[in-house]
Amino acid sequence: MRKTAISGARTIAEIAEFWDTHDFTDYEDRCPDVTEKVKINIRRVRHYVSIDPVLLRRVRGAARKRRMPTERLINLWIQEGYRRTLSASKR
Same domain, 79 and 68: yes
Let me know: does 73 contact 63? Beta carbons within 8 Å: yes
Q: Residue 72's domain spans which residues?
A: 46-91
Same domain, 39 and 10: yes
Same domain, 51 and 25: no
**What band does 12 get if pLDDT is binned at 50, 70 and 90?**
confident
Same domain, 39 and 23: yes
Domain count for the chain, please give it. 2
Same domain, 37 and 51: no
Query: Which amino acid is it at 57?
Result: R
CA 11 to chain centre: 13
Same domain, 20 and 54: no
- Name 22's Cβ contacts closer than 8 Å, sequence gap at least 6: 7
pLDDT digits (tens, 9 = 90+) for 14-54: 888 988 998 988 888 888 777 777 777 777 788 889 999 99
pTM: 0.50
Same domain, 50 and 91: yes
* Rounded (5°) CA angle 74-76-79: 110
